[in-house]
Amino acid sequence: MSTAATIETHCVRGLVEKDFSSGAHPIWCPGCGDYGVLAGLEHALVKLGRPPHEVVLVSGIGCSSRLPGYMSCFGFHGVHGRALAAATGLKLARPDLEVITVGGDGDGFSIGGNHFIHACRRNIDMLYLVMDNRVYGMTKGQPSPTSEPDWDSALTPGGIGTRPFNPILLAIAAGATFVARGFAGDPQGLADLIVAGIKWPGFAFLEVLSPCITFRPEEFEWKGKVRHDAAAVENDRAAAAAAALTDDGFSLGVLFRGTEAAVKPPSQARSSLAAIERQFLVGV
């Protein structure tokens, strides 16, 4: 059977943001940070000049995972938590495509936590963008792995009581080679980080602070808390991890870059089916 045609990649000039919009109206609440991420992605793809048909957006389940439906690119809207696995298979099969995985903190760090760790470790060339709003929004407001311990919810009156997950620290510890943080309220700055992450020749993890105005109205204040002051730690995982441990979670920019090589695409065929079948032959 013939395998997939490999496309020639293009750098197309003259693309505009609208070229990347599907025209579908998002289900997101007014004021949701994810609109900023959508805009940031559109800016970034215009800057990069990769046309929609060369891009695949892969996602899981949750508010933010609806994003592929709002763009004109190819997309894979899979099951909850498994976006990185699907993206891994896709990128290995089709290194010619630009694979961008998107989702939320519940999808990526809770149900999909294991895949997050192993995607960092595996270092396959893709951007993983997590819209972190510290809440399960689609199910109407339960604490996520990044929620503060004292955040009060209907399911956890008085707070969940457990320390939040530090995705930046975990990514660094698990072997990610590009770790950055952006803010949904800053689509241009976010677009620059997205471009850097896409261009990065390996697994690029981009945590985006994306406020949930509906269930976490206090996140509206993130606008005043974020700082464009991240100083990228180059190649020193211990130093980067130490910085991630003391960081308040609001410094924006590239936080860590490593030098480990990305997984190589499959090699060309060097054998044949006939040669493989001969091993079973006995007595000639």
Pairing of strands 178-183, 253-257: antiparallel
Write each residue from 19 to 38 as x if it is in contact with other proteins (CB under 8 A), else as -, in one continuous string. Answer: -----x--------------
Give the Cα separation of 128 and 196 in Å (integer). Answer: 12
**Dihedrals phi, psi of 7, to nearest 5 degrees:** -85, 150
**Dihedrals phi, psi of 49, to nearest 5 degrees:** 75, 25
Take residue 54 and report the two structure tokens written for it. Answer: 């060369």
Pick the stretch among 39-47, 75-83, 102-110, 176-184 that binds other proteins (CB under 8 A).
75-83
Cβ proximity to other proteins: between 175 and 182 the closer is 175
Is 210 in contact with 30 (CB distance < 8 Å)? no
- Tokens 């972190």 — which residue? 132
Amino acid letter at 270? Answer: R
According to the binding rule CB under 8 A, does residue 66 interact with other proteins?
Answer: yes
Write each residue from 249 to 278 as x if it is in contact with other proteins (CB under 8 A), else as -, in one continuous string. Answer: -----------------xxxxxxxx--xx-
Q: Select from 15, 44, 45, 87 the one that contacts other proteins (CB under 8 A).
A: 87
CB of residue 193 to other proteins, shortest distance in Å: 24
Take residue 192 and report the two structure tokens written for it. Answer: 């620059």
Give the Cα separation of 216 and 222 in Å (integer). Answer: 11
Cβ proximity to other proteins: between 108 and 249 the closer is 108
Cβ proximity to other proteins: between 27 and 155 the closer is 27
According to the binding rule CB under 8 A, does residue 90 interact with other proteins?
Answer: yes
If we measure between CA atoms, which residue out of 144, 148, 37, 160 comes closest to residue 81? 144
According to the binding rule CB under 8 A, does residue 16 interact with other proteins?
Answer: no
Where do the DSSP E strands lie in 154-221? 178-183, 203-209
CB of residue 23 to other proteins, shortest distance in Å: 9
Is 147 in contact with 164 (CB distance < 8 Å)? yes
According to the binding rule CB under 8 A, does residue 118 interact with other proteins?
Answer: yes
According to the binding rule CB under 8 A, does residue 104 interact with other proteins?
Answer: no
Residues near other proteins (CB under 8 A): 1-7, 24, 51-54, 56-58, 66, 68-69, 72-79, 81-82, 85-94, 96-97, 114-115, 117-118, 266-273, 276-277, 280-284
